[in-house]
Amino acid sequence: MEKYHNDEKVAMEQFEAMTKDAERVQRDVLKKILEENGSAEYLQKQGLNGRTDPESYKACVPIVTYNDLEPYIQRIADGDSSAILTGKPITYMVISSGTSQGKAKLVPFNDKMQETIMQMNKISFILRSREFPLGKGKALQFIYGSHKEHKTKGGIAIGHVSSKVFSSPEYKNAMKVVQSQACSPEEVIQGPDFHQSVYCHLLCGLIFREEIQLISSTFAHNIVHAFRTFEQIWEELCADIRFATISNRITDPDVRTSMSKLLSRPNPELADLIYKKCRGLSNWSGLIPEIFPNVKYIYGIMTGSMEYYSKKLKHYAGEVPLVSSIYVASEVAVGSCIHPKLPPELVTYLVFPTNGYFEFLPLKDHGTSTEPTNFKTVGLTEVNVDEEYEIIITNFAGDITYFMEKNMLHDMLMINVLPNQLIFLIDKLAGCYRYRLGDIVKVMGFHNSCPELKFVCRKNVLLNINIDKSTEEDIELAVEEASKVLGEAKSEIVDFTTTADLLTDPGHYVVFWELSGDQGSDEVLRECCNLLDLSFTEEAYVISRKDNSIGPLELRIVEKGTFQKVMMEYLLAVGGSAEQYKTPRCVGPANYKVLQILCDNVVKSYFSTALR
């Protein structure tokens, strides 16, 4: 215990030091990146000639997107082992979720980079544990690993971040310490079938209901999905507990064996208790504290596209606090929430200056332009409060131990940091130089000299037909407003997405809804459709609707289970991961297979009659 307090003190001292001197830290980070990768072909072409200062770097190296780097990445995948993007060879690649741009990206991976961001996660845990201290109880973690790996044409291993983490020696050693914290056995986490793992996670949670102090997942979506599933299968779960049986839906032998050990004897008393509590709930409100009376908080990513699900999660959580996780993209770990008690809608993330070299494109100067020529960026400490920016990153691709201890990973797990918090921490695109992350953020304030950011939206998530540009935030606000009408019909939105239909003249917005419970009357759904149309208040959209250069909005209701088909039949089938899955809020031409699944499952369709 004394060692833990000493570690905490040292970590917080390092945290304060790096945030107070962020400008120097950033210069040092860039210098180290360029020194370690100066021999790479990509940097050699830029004419830096050994210079490592920010001024020379910005003058010589262009701002790029993934498409600019893809030819280099493809060469690596095809087996070219020369120094292409990094000074050291790439031996592993991970697969991005593919939900933003319609295709999964191959992301070169270097496992040494995980040390770069361990400090951020340790600080996050320290600050969180001060507000919500945990005892020696268990955690219900909705996490999903996989051992499936493939090879590129050049023989490089390809897998998912979760698979890479869970199969690593560091993780396996750490599990010896933290196994008592997770209520689900490793066989469930690594189970080959997503639906079987969800069922078993819930069953494990019920078995240890009195000991559960924390419920977590990478995304709020995964937690909401789990408890929506619970609504449908709770009686079957009670039967398993009552008779010490395993449902026939669990067919994997390793998963069945591991669950049989937990269900070693019938427990009718527990089954009766859970049955009575479920029967007594009204519309499943407050489900989580009723079933898990000692849970302290619920943890996961709850901002950005997850903010919609966090609102549903509040329904299940009752008074249990929702605590937002760190801000991580596929290419870099940006920062952490240092105010754990903030509700998801108010969360800000402090940028950690040691995690990469950060630049910011002011939106007031460049708007939503996609052409980076002559863009002028500002540094991490030069941003202004209340202004919006697009993030530009240069990340690590080598062994970096700045402000780090070699045994940081082990020490972090020793103080009860849970394994699922590592899943998205080490998915780093090796050799990203002045890379457009595509995230729009707003500066809300500073901690010492480091900015605290609020995530606004993904830049490339746009509904666009004419001169209109409706963002992810616009879409979610419109859906939230229109969904209020559903309350009277005793129905709610399970999930949603949109597309721009350009095959009609004029083109129009299409919104897909999957509903729970009663599908709702035609009268109610027509009203929802009109409200959706009226709730898109972006000026160009309003003008275009008035002059009929954009047609009436269309609301399409899809069959129950459609969004599960999108996840299971397409995204997972082409190499995605349940752990990484995020419903795309806008389905473009590149996602035509997703669009086909949605269109094939439409059961009702309505066009807006609202007048602008």
Which amino acid belongs to residue 423? I
Per-residue pLDDT at 395:
83
CA separation for the pair 566, 538 (Å, rounded): 29
pLDDT tens figures, 77-103: 777 878 888 777 665 555 554 444 444
∠ CA(41), CA(43), CA(47), 5° rounding? 115
Nearest to 220 by CA among 112, 328, 275, 302: 302
CA separation for the pair 586, 554 (Å, rounded): 14
Per-residue pLDDT at 140:
94
Strands 297-301 and 333-336: unpaired
CA separation for the pair 86, 428 (Å, rounded): 13
Which amino acid belongs to residue 196? Q
Most confident by average pLDDT, 143-152, 517-526, 556-565, 572-581: 556-565
Edge-to-edge, what's the strand order for the sheet holding 157-159? 106-109, 92-95, 157-159, 150-151
> Which structure tokens are listed for 124?
């996050």
Is there a contact between 278 and 209 (Cβ–Cβ < 8 Å)?
Answer: no
> Which segments of 393-471 does DSSP mark as H helices, in order?
408-414
Nearest to 404 by CA among 146, 1, 32: 32
- Beta-ladder partners of 496: 513
pLDDT tens figures, 388-440: 999 999 987 433 322 323 333 333 333 333 333 322 333 334 568 898 888 88
Reported residue count of the chain is 612
pLDDT tens figures, 268-302: 999 999 999 999 888 899 999 999 999 999 998 88
CA–CA distance from 168 to each of 112, 242, 422 (Å)?
Answer: 12, 37, 11
Strands (E), 281-352: 297-301, 322-324, 327-328, 333-336, 349-351
DSSP state of 571: I
Which amino acid belongs to residue 205? G
Nearest to 151 by CA among 190, 108, 93: 93
CA separation for the pair 36, 430 (Å, rounded): 12
SS3 state at 69: helix
Per-residue pLDDT at 428:
38
CA separation for the pair 257, 185 (Å, rounded): 10
- Beta-ladder partners of 92: 109, 157
Nearest to 450 by CA among 116, 23, 10, 14: 23
Is there a contact between 506 and 526 (Cβ–Cβ < 8 Å)?
Answer: no
DSSP state of 153: T
Is there a contact between 525 and 578 (Cβ–Cβ < 8 Å)?
Answer: no
> Which structure tokens are listed for 47?
């004419």
pLDDT band, very low/low/confident/very high, at 365 (cuts 50, 70, 90) = low
DSSP state of 342: S
pLDDT tens figures, 429-478: 456 889 888 888 999 999 999 999 998 877 766 787 777 778 888 888 89
Per-residue pLDDT at 102:
42
As a dihedral over the C-alpha atoms of residue 227, residue 233, residue 234, residue 238, rounded to 10 degrees, the angle is -140
Percent of the chain with pLDDT over 90: 37
Percent of the chain with pLDDT over 70: 77
Q: So where are the chain's domains?
A: 2-114+327-458, 133-141+181-320, 472-607
Is there a contact between 356 and 379 (Cβ–Cβ < 8 Å)?
Answer: no
CA–CA distance from 308 to each of 102, 303, 305 (Å)?
Answer: 21, 8, 7
